[in-house]
Amino acid sequence: MNDYLWLIPFFPLLGFLINGLLGRNFSEKMVGIIGAGAIFLSFVTTLLTFKELLTLEPEHRIFIQKLYTWMATGNFSVDVAFRFDALSAVMTLVVTGVGFLIHVYSIGYMHGDRGFFRYFAFLNLFTFAMLLLVLGNNFLILFLGWEGVGLCSYLLIGFWYEKIDYANAGMKAFIVNRIGDFGFLLGMFLIFKHFGSLDFDQVFSNAAAVPPGVITAITLLLFVGATGKSAQIPLYVWLPDAMAGPTPVSALIHAATMVTAGVYMVSRASALYILSPLALSVVAVIGVATALFAATMAITSQDIKKVLAYSTISQLGYMFLAAGVGAFSAAIFHLMTHAFFKALLFLGAGSVMHALSNETNLMKMGGLRKHLPITFWTFLVGGLAISGIPGFSGFFSKDEILWKAFSSPFGSPVLWGVGAVAAGITAFYIFRMIYLAFYGESRVDPEVALHIHESPKVMTVPLMVLAVLSIIGGYVGIPHVYMGLEHFLEPVFEPASVAMAAGAAGHASASTEFTLMGISVVIALAGIYLAYQLYVMNPEKPRQLAQSMHGLYTLLFNKYYVDEIYQAVFVKPFVNLSNVFFWRFFDVKIIDGIVNGVARIFGNIAAGLRRMQTGIVQMYALSLMLGAIIIFGYFILR
Amino acid sequence: MPLTYYLVLGAILFSLGVLGVLTRRNAIIIFLSIELMLNAVNLTFVALSNHVQNLDGQVFVFFVMIVAAAEVAVGLALIVAIFRLKETVYVDEINLMKW
Amino acid sequence: MQEILFFVLAAVAVLSALGMLLNKNPVYSVLLLIVTLFSIAGLYVLLNASFIAAVHLIVYAGAIMVLFLFVIMLLDIRADVEHINLKRLSRILALLATFIFLGETFLIIWMSLKGKAAFVGLGEGILGDVPSVGELLFTKYLLPFEIASVLLLVAIVGAIILAKRKLRPEPPAA
């Protein structure tokens, strides 16, 4: 067994404590070394553990380390225990590996910021919570990490809290997530009610014994949690605003790791989901709808980070599509490749902003290819990967998902079709962004243009590493390769794959697979070509198009008015209700009334009792005597 | 000679002290009464010390005297201070601690 | 012989205590209390407590009572004119409470000594002379003894501060 599992989350926690408590007095270099070093140690530990895991037989590839019993009341007992199986291993490697690169990058990106140590402390705390989430051996530890990452997300979105907009964005993320967490909590309660335990093994092995209706309720409630954390319809609204945080934070939390927690959780609970076809279809439909919906919104966004944010929402939709058709390993596969290329794109965007004095407006970029060669090439790799161009990682994972959406017993051609269209749009908006930022005439503000410079090594090296990973990351997933990812993850998703195999008889053939693959590649290439035509060959064309399709453009530009609708439907009425009823009536009249009433009662009693305080010493002495008499009397009569 | 005699005598002297504290108005007399009460207790201490064949009781009497001396010093200083302020030593005319 | 001495001393003590209680002039009260204290000192001697008797005389009769006299004369307190402000009821209550208390005390003494032969006196019991009590004070009770000296020091300082006419010099007249 492996007794060092606890070290993986421990190092980031230690880093958080050191930097958080003492970092104020450290130099930037010191803080950076502690912050990144903690993640590096954690990464090395993960690698060693992973190596040990691989030496075992596939069916026994699981380490469980119980640290202590957290709480035990009645028949409710929760252990603080870590679980390192194939799924956790992939997640942990992504979190620590990508996390380490982003920590290193941050040293350069955050250089000179007043909150440097605070930033690194939060980032380490985030990593700790995320590791808790993926390593936890029961739903409560998972939830602990889940809340922890939510907290860190809030802290880091509002990192520059002097700006009211940024602080509000943090609150929005927190509140929207809370709605999802509520569903998650209810799901956990249901699990405990029907399984009597929150332990993964006990829940999943007894899943078949619980009525299907209950399973459906549990899985749907858990999925509500996932939509909050992973920014799916209808709770995705916080993620675009979350771009207020520092860009490496967007890369780590709002692209690579935290937002994928929902996917992880659904995959972890695959044994439950597979028992409920209804829940699966809900997941798949929400996923594919989000993929398409978010992709369309990305088309008109002029903010480089917002484009990437919508892109993240869209890609998360793909992951849920995969999970919804029962292809959990495809979901995790895409999660992994997405972590690579989306972190790369975000860090690239950060590098662009770094060069342009934090300019995020695509309309004020252009022609940056010459000035930022490393950023450009790595960004291009990321763009090709996310567009699904063969040879890059995104191609393998996205194609896997689309194929499963088509061929799985839970899938359908409609899901495939919508997914393919979204993939085409993805290619279009990504290359729109690349062309706007790196090609054509420079539209940079003159005084900013003077300072354009390539980022320092500490930022470009992580970019290059991520670029390499974005290319080769896909090859672990090719199904027929020895030790492929799907094969590796199989023990974890065993109930799911059994169910899939049962329904998949004679459904799929290799030729269909390759035809579909060809179609999706053609769609992607068409998207890129369209972007090239519109934004490089005829730069005037987009504006004309926008005018000719004014209604659609405005609708997209305003993000379907979802924020406004939410504001009008949920926020306003609730604010008014609180204002009129909860505050002016309930709080003032009832709550304050009770409190003040109690105080007044005691005030009146005291007003009477204080007459006893005559100020005459002998009165006091007399009462002292009476007390003595009573005590003596007690001893006599006893 | 019976121990009871001494105890009864102590009780009587103590009760006289109590009566003085409860009825007299002059702060100095109240103080004297308190001294009387202390002495009544001391007498009981010594008597019981003799009875149980243990000198610890007498040591206690010694400490009671020390505390009484300290108390008298501070208490009389207080009376002097109050007299300066209120021109009286009658406790029923001093009710600064009234509600 | 012993018993006669006891009764004489006890009678003197109780009577002079009563006198202290009833006398209107505080100076007489103090003098009567000194008489009580002297007879109590005699009782200490009857109880073999010669050390305590000596300390008692020195501390109480010699120091504390003189202090009382000083204060009385310093304040020039007039004779306690009986304009009774205390309500009658409270005086009756006080008297009643005291008698109940005394009765209870007697009851407790009786209950705890009932049927036991408990005797004290000159011939019997241990000797509370200076060497034996002093040895106890400087061995077993050394720490309380030292603390008591600190207590006295604090009391002295406190008394001086309290009785001083002004804590701070008057601010210069403007």
Tell the burial category of A253 from Cβ atoms under 10 Å away from its Cβ (0-12, 13-18, 19+).
buried
Q: Two tokens at C113?
A: 């000594």
Look at B99 and A615 and tell me if their CB atoms are within 8 Å: yes
β-sheet bridge partners, residue A76: A73
As a dihedral over the C-alpha atoms of residue C143, residue C148, residue C153, residue C154, rounded to 10 degrees, the angle is 100
pLDDT at residue C84 in the model: 47
* Contact residues, chain A to chain B, C-beta under 8 Å: 610-611, 613-618, 621-622, 625
pLDDT, averaged across chain A: 87
Q: Which of C63, C109, C144 lies closest to B7 in CB terms?
A: C109
Facing A616 at nearest CB: one of B23, B30, B92: B92
Nearest chain B alpha carbon to A608: B99
User: Which site among C15, C18, C21 would you substitute to test the B interface, given the most B Cβ atoms closer than 10 Å to its Cβ?
Assistant: C21
CB of B94 within 8 Å of a chain A CB? The answer is yes
Cβ separation of C98 and A625 shorter than 8 Å?
A: yes
Chain A residues whose CB is inside 8 A of the C90 CB are 618-619, 622
Mean pLDDT of chain B: 89
Give yes or no for a contact between A222 and A265, defined as CB atoms under 8 angstroms apart: yes
Of all residues in chain B, the percent with pLDDT exceeding 90 is: 52
**Domains, in order of start, for chain B:** 3-93 (1.10.287.3510)
- Could you report the predicted ipTM of this complex, rounded to two decimals? 0.90
Give the tens place of pLDDT for each residue, A65-106.
888 888 888 888 888 889 988 889 889 999 999 999 999 999
Contact criterion met (CB < 8 Å) for B98 and A615: yes
* pLDDT of A354 above 50: yes
pLDDT tens for A450-467 read 778 888 888 889 999 999
| Nearest chain B CA: its distance from A570 CA (Å) | 55
| Vertex A181 angle, CA A160 and A35, to 5° | 40
Our CA angle for A634, B17, B87, nearest 5°, is: 125
B1 min Cα distance to partner chain A (Å): 26
Best residue of C6, C51, C55, C64 to probe chain B, by most B CBs closer than 10 Å: C64
Subunits touching B (CB < 8 Å, at least 3 pairs)?
A: A, C
The C-alpha atoms of residue B76 and residue C63 are separated, in whole angstroms, by 13
In eight-state DSSP terms, residue A64 is: E
* Euclidean distance between CA atoms B38 and C63, whole angstroms: 16
Note whether C96 contacts B: Cβ–Cβ < 8 A: no
What's the rounded Cα separation, in Å, for the pair C80 and C23?
Answer: 9
Residue C24 touches partner B, C-beta closer than 8 Å: no
Question: Contacts of residue C118 in chain B, CB cutoff 8 Å?
Answer: 2-4, 51
Query: A611: which chain B residues are within 8 Å (Cβ-Cβ)?
Result: 99
What is d(CA A435, CA A70) in angstroms, rounded to the nearest whole number?
54
H helices within A233-327, ranges in order? 238-241, 247-251, 261-268, 270-273, 277-300, 304-324
Contacts of residue A588, defined as CB under 8 A and 6 or more positions apart, other chains included, come to none
CA distance A620 to A287: 79
Of B18, B47, B92, the CB nearest to C85: B92
A2-11, A431-440, A452-461, B29-38, range with greatest mean pLDDT = B29-38
pLDDT, tens only, A531-584: 888 888 877 777 777 788 877 888 877 778 888 888 888 888 888 888 888 888
The CA distance from B15 to the nearest CA of chain C, in Å, is: 6
CA A153 to chain centre: 9
Q: How many CB pairs under 8 A join A and C?
A: 28
Q: Please report the number of interchain residue pairs, chain B to chain C, with beta-carbon separation below 8 angstroms.
A: 227
B28 contacts in chain C (CB < 8 Å): 26, 29, 68, 71-72, 77
Name the minimum distance, in Å, from the CA of B68 to any CA of chain A.
19
Q: Is C59 touching B (CB cutoff 8 A)?
A: yes
Helices (H) and strands (E) in chain B, counts: 3, 0
The whole-number average pLDDT for the span A43-68 is: 86
d(C-alpha C46, C-alpha A254), whole Å: 95
| CA dist list (Å): A331 to A212, A270, A320, A477, C90 | 24, 11, 7, 11, 91
Instruction: Name the phi and psi angles at B77, rounded to 5.
Output: -60, -40
As a whole number of angstroms, the distance between CA A308 and CA A361 comes to 13
Q: With beta carbons under 8 A apart, name residues in chain C contacting A619.
A: 90
The per-type count for chain C, helices as H runs and strands as E runs, is: 7, 0
Query: Is residue A412 within 8 Å of A512, Cβ to Cβ?
Result: no
C86, C90, C101 ranked by CB distance to A629: nearest: C101
pLDDT tens digit sequence for A316-328: 999 999 999 988 8
Flag if A626 and C97 touch (Cβ within 8 Å). Answer: yes
**Backbone angles phi and psi of A437, in degrees to 5:** -85, -40
Mean pLDDT score of chain C, rounded to an integer? 84
Q: Are A292 and A418 in contact (CB under 8 A)?
A: yes
Query: Which CATH number is C1-84 given?
Result: 1.20.120.1200
pLDDT value at position A506?
Answer: 47
Cα separation, A551 vs A219, in Å, equals 39
Q: How far apart are CA C31 and CA C11, in angstroms?
A: 17
Measured between beta carbons, the chain A residues lying within 8 angstroms of B30 are: 617
The fraction of chain A above a pLDDT of 70, given in percent, is 97
| 8 A C-beta contact, residue A91 and residue A29 | no
- Are B15 and C162 in contact (CB < 8 Å)? no
d(CA A55, CA A69): 29
Convert the pLDDT of each residue in A574-584 to its tens digit.
888 888 888 88
Binary contact (A618, B91; C-beta < 8 A) = yes
Shortest distance between the Cα of B29 and any Cα of chain A, in A, equals: 13
For the stretch A218-274, pLDDT in tens is: 999 999 999 999 988 888 888 888 888 889 998 888 888 889 999 999 999 988 898
Helices (H), A474-588: 485-489, 494-503, 510-532, 541-548, 550-557, 562-566, 572-577
Using left for φ > 0, alpha for ψ between -120 and 50, and beta otherwise, residue A262 falls in: alpha
Residues 63-92 of B with CB under 8 A from C: 63, 65-74, 76-81, 83-84, 89-90, 92
Alpha helices in C62-129 (DSSP H): 65-75, 88-113
Supply the pLDDT for residue A145.
Answer: 92
Distance separating alpha carbons of residues A586 and A578, to the nearest angstrom? 9
Q: To which residue do tokens 């009781």 refer?
A: B57
Across the interface, do C64 and B35 touch by the CB < 8 Å criterion?
yes
Cβ contacts of B22 on chain A, cutoff 8 Å: 618, 621-622, 625
Cβ neighbours around A2 below 10 Å, total: 16
Mean pLDDT over A517-540 rounds to: 85
pLDDT value at residue C79: 56
Residue numbers in A near C105 (CB within 8 A): 632
Q: Cα–Cα distance between A385 and A403 in angstroms, integer?
A: 18
Q: What is the pLDDT of residue A504?
A: 53
Residue A427 near residue A387 (C-beta atoms within 8 A): yes
Sequence-distant (≥ 6) Cβ neighbours of residue B1 within 8 angstroms: C2, C3, C6, C119, C120, C121
Residues of C with CB under 8 A from a CB of A: 86, 90, 93-94, 97-98, 100-101, 104-105, 107-108, 111
A185: Cβ contacts below 8 Å, ≥ 6 apart: A143, A225
Tens-binned pLDDT, residue by residue, of chain C (174 aa): 888 999 999 999 999 999 998 888 888 899 999 999 999 999 999 888 889 999 999 998 888 899 898 888 888 766 555 544 455 677 888 889 999 999 999 999 888 888 777 777 666 667 778 888 989 999 999 999 999 999 999 999 999 888 887 656 666 655
A633: CB partners within 8 A, 6+ apart: C104
């009433």: which residue's tokens? Answer: A597
What's the confidence (pLDDT) of residue C145? Answer: 93
- CA triplet A154, A299, A165: central angle to 5 degrees? 30
| CB neighbour list of residue A571: distance below 8 Å, 6 or more residues apart | none
C-alpha–C-alpha distance, residues A578 and A585, integer Å = 9
A468-499 pLDDT tens trace: 988 888 887 665 554 567 777 877 787 777 77
Vertex A267, ends A494 and A52: CA angle to 5°? Answer: 65
Residue A129: both structure tokens together = 């919570």
